[in-house]
Structure 1
Amino acid sequence: MTATLSETARRARVAASSGFAAQGFVYATLLTNLNRFKDRYGVDDGQITLVVLGVCVMAALGTLVADRVARTESGSRAVLGVGLLVIAAAVVVASVAPGFGVLVAGFLVFGVGMGMVDAGTNMQAVAIQHEYGRSLLTGFYASWSVGGIIGAVLVAVTAGRVPDEPVAVATLTGALVAGAASVLVLASGWRGATVAVRADGVARPDEALAFPAADGSKPLVPWGAVVLLGLGVVAFYVADTAISTWSTIYLDDVMLASASFAPLGYAAYLTTTLGSRLAGDPLVRRWGRVVVLRGGALVGAAGLVLVVAAPGQWAALAGFAVAGAGLGVIAPLCFSAAGDVAPGHADAVVARLNVFNYVGAVLGGVLVGAIGSTSSLGLGFIVPIVLVVAVAVLAGRFGVARRVGTPATAGSGAGG
């Protein structure tokens, strides 16, 4: 890598990290305020569940938009930069909403931006990791965790100290953070080529995931590998969305925690998630993707079991912390493995893989809430436990890279 390219990649890495951090910040400030939105507009858990479902549907739409934009000359840099601007606009709407209907509209717009940013950050991260030639994905996700921690702590610290009426000041700061990150991404984001090209030099964006078959007769789409990675993504986002959406409400309504204590469950989860992600890349380079993934899944499941069995608020807080220590590595390692599925077409794989994000979000945010509405919110956390244990069982498959025309071989799992 030349000195000039190295500097370009370094600046792109900083820009992509800012995108991860900005989304983590906005996400945390919105979700740890859900209990306040409930009180402000006089709505219940069932209505919040429907809003979460709407956000997930709109996020899937945002991912489709991201897929299309990434195939253009503007590439994933534009996907991420524009997505951050959409998020900034949505946060303003949600923060000043005079009624529940306007709040819902703001959250739906946020969903579109979230889908674009989810896809854009992972596209940029996978491309930059490929340029560096070593595992970087868990480090990028650590930036998301840093942003989320700051957002959750901000909400906890400002509870009762800044106005919620007529403007939710704590959430409004997210618009400034997202806007600043957008400027940095559009100026310094990775500009590498993202469109697949045929042997005759003609771009074929609609076949970005296609390989030539062994006999050269027709393209082969490696959906088996994509679906396998998708299962890991679903498991993580079921657990992550369950914690991010319901941990504050769980501590508030079930554990009877104070308004300043309740957001700390999510903050504790994010703090240990950050620790696992900072350690993740060195651990992958030392032990390989499979070992790190399996260990993380088992630790995450243990933490969720503690949440379900917790006799009080401090035990539940500890459970969220333990869960974060394991779950933090699952999603980045799934997206890291995407580079092994279709080298040269990672943006297309990431866009499709990102759709599984919202399948998990629906199950984590909606199903857990639905169980909580009919029985106990604590029992809702059993769903992610089962799925995360399944990831531990299937972890051996995540270190296998498949190439057309060659046998599957066990990869080192070094993530790029």
Structure 2
Amino acid sequence: MSAAATRGSSIVSTAARRARVATSGGFAAQGFVYALLLTSLEQFKDRYGVGDGQITLVVLGVCALAALGTLVADRVARGRAGSRGALAAGLSVLVTAVAVVSAAPTFAVLVLGFAVYGLGLGLVDAGTNMQAVSVQRAYGRSLLTGFYAAWSVGGIAGAVLVSVTAGTVSLGPVAFVLWSGILVASLAAFLVAVAGWHRDRAAETAADTGADVAGRVPWGPVLLLGLGVVAYYVADTAVSTWSTIYLGDVLDATSRIAPLGYAAYLATTLVSRVAGDPLVRRHGRAAVVRVAAVVGAVGLTLVVVAPGTPVALLGFAVTGAGLGVIAPLCFSAAGALAPGHADAVVARLNVFNYVGAVLGGVLVGAIGSGSTLRAGFVVPVLLVVAVAVVAPRFGRRGTAAPGAGGSEALAGSAGPVTASGGTVRSTDEEVR
């Protein structure tokens, strides 16, 4: 390696370390704000005198605007600001959204606040994944499940905060507990703006010419990964949106116990994500996805049949232990499909997030409104079982394709080495 290359590698490594911290902060802030708002839905119902039907419509609106936010993130990422700018902007939008929601005097204003939140959520969802894929490529090894672990840490903190303050801190006239979300999102936005990953534009000129990306992306693997993303977010959104209400309304849990279902889910999700990268390197992506889906289905089944709060809490915990690695592995593989256009591919895959969110949040809620939330949780069970069935198509363990190397090859499951003929191979496996 030449002296110039060595100096460049050193500079990139320093920038990548800073960007890794900033991106982790973005994931953590996203999880924290998300948990704050979602575990407060039961209290919002009481504050404004609304039912599950109105909450379902709010969730639907958030999903629709989040999909729009993803498209905006794609456009911003193609400009000079890159995905760093998209993520910083999204976190700033979350600050505004939380401020509106916390002080909303009427349900109509609350809906407006959640609409702003939906737009920011899409920007942050896409921006965090874009930044994560870029940092992972700079490091040359799998990092995605670790970034998602940071999200889980933030989510656990938010859910526990709502739990310990429920019934002791008033929501009116201002929900001051939510202001912690303003502080956390503001700090994360600053950190990302200062230290987020800024791509080497000279090295990616071909990716910035504005050329059509669709013809360069093997869409078969994208759709397969999309199935995994949809199934995961159906289950994840069902738990995050309805677990607190399910425990409170169906199983008569107290206002302090009800948010702990989501906290238990997030805690075991964190454990699975910390262990995710080593497990994939040892057993391969297909095996990990298969086992994760089976465990997740078992957990959701426990939720459906739970006779009381303890079994339901156990079910949510088992669900998190199973499903925590599915989404990061999907996005990790997406970044490998078209290395020169990773941001665009990630943005497109992220749209499947909201397909799953609609099904998980809206369909589960609609079924719950028509019968019971117990029946609503059957939907994610079926979809997660489908992921277990198709898991072998997620890839098999193998070797790097000929010609792989340099910045194109990543150690572990996430490494892109080639994308041709609709097949992407990595150093551990291939997505067909």
TM-score range, shorter chain: over 0.9
Q: Of 63, 76, 81, which aligns to 2:70?
A: 63
CA contact (8 A) 1:156 1:263 kept: yes
2:118 pairs with 1:102: no
2:420 aligned partner? 404
CA contact (8 A) 2:336 2:424 kept: no
1:217 aligned partner? none
Q: CA deviation at 1:38?
A: 0.4
Q: Of 251, 257, 263, which aligns to 2:253?
A: 257
**Distance in 1 between the 2:208 and 2:15 partners?**
25
Q: CA deviation at 1:151?
A: 0.3
**How is 1:23-62 mapped onto 2 (pairs within 5 angstroms)?**
23-62=30-69
1:204 aligned partner? 209
| Partner AA of 1:365 in structure 2 | G
Q: Of 148, 154, 165, which aligns to 2:155?
A: 148
CA contact (8 A) 2:221 2:423 kept: no
* Cα shift readout 1:209-246 (whole Å, capped 9, x = no counterpart): 432xxxxxxxxx42211111111000000000000000
1:218 aligned partner? none
Q: CA deviation at 1:386?
A: 1.0
1:393 aligned partner? 389
2:269 pairs with 1:273: yes
Structure 2 portions without partners, runs of 5+: 1-5, 397-415
Q: CA deviation at 1:409?
A: 5.3
**Distance in 1 between the 2:272 and 2:363 partners?**
27
Q: CA deviation at 1:193?
A: 4.1
Q: CA deviation at 1:49?
A: 0.1
CA contact (8 A) 1:196 1:205 kept: no
**How is 1:8-27 mapped onto 2 (pairs within 5 angstroms)?**
8-27=15-34
**Distance in 2 between the 1:369 and 1:311 partners?**
20
SS in 1 for 2:88: helix
1:138 aligned partner? 145
2:181 aligned partner? 174
Q: CA deviation at 1:99?
A: 0.3
Change over 3 Å in CA distance of 1:154–1:13 after alignment to 2: same
| Partner AA of 1:265 in structure 2 | G
CA contact (8 A) 1:288 1:414 kept: no
Change over 3 Å in CA distance of 1:195–1:87 after alignment to 2: farther
CA contact (8 A) 2:291 2:322 kept: yes
**How is 1:11-410 mapped onto 2 (pairs within 5 angstroms)?**
11-193=18-200, 203-211=208-216, 221-399=217-395, 403-404=419-420
Q: CA deviation at 1:403?
A: 2.1
| Partner AA of 1:404 in structure 2 | S
**Distance in 2 between the 1:196 and 1:7 partners?**
18
Two-structure CA RMSD over aligned residues (Å): 1.9
CA contact (8 A) 1:32 1:152 kept: yes
SS in 1 for 2:340: coil
SS in 2 for 1:359: helix
Judge which range, 387-396 or 91-100, deviates more. 387-396
CA contact (8 A) 2:285 2:395 kept: yes
Q: CA deviation at 1:197?
A: 6.1
Change over 3 Å in CA distance of 1:408–1:151 after alignment to 2: closer
CA contact (8 A) 1:62 1:111 kept: yes
**Distance in 2 between the 1:52 and 1:118 partners?**
16
| Partner AA of 1:155 in structure 2 | V
SS in 2 for 1:338: helix
| TM-score calculated relative to the size of structure 1 | 0.93
Runs of 4 or more above 3 Å deviation: 193-198, 405-411
**Distance in 2 between the 1:222 and 1:57 partners?**
26
- Matched-pair identity in %: 67
**Distance in 2 between the 1:188 and 1:197 partners?**
20
CA contact (8 A) 2:24 2:147 kept: yes
| Partner AA of 2:390 in structure 1 | L
Change over 3 Å in CA distance of 1:93–1:407 after alignment to 2: closer
Q: CA deviation at 1:27?
A: 0.4
| Partner AA of 1:87 in structure 2 | L
| Partner AA of 1:141 in structure 2 | Y
SS in 2 for 1:403: strand
**Distance in 2 between the 1:3 and 1:17 partners?**
21
Change over 3 Å in CA distance of 1:202–1:41 after alignment to 2: closer
**Distance in 1 between the 2:149 and 2:302 partners?**
24
Change over 3 Å in CA distance of 1:128–1:93 after alignment to 2: same
Change over 3 Å in CA distance of 1:281–1:202 after alignment to 2: closer
2:10 aligned partner? 3
**Distance in 1 between the 2:124 and 2:302 partners?**
32
**Distance in 2 between the 1:155 and 1:129 partners?**
33
**Distance in 1 between the 2:234 and 2:131 partners?**
24
**Distance in 1 between the 2:137 and 2:388 partners?**
26
Q: CA deviation at 1:205?
A: 2.5
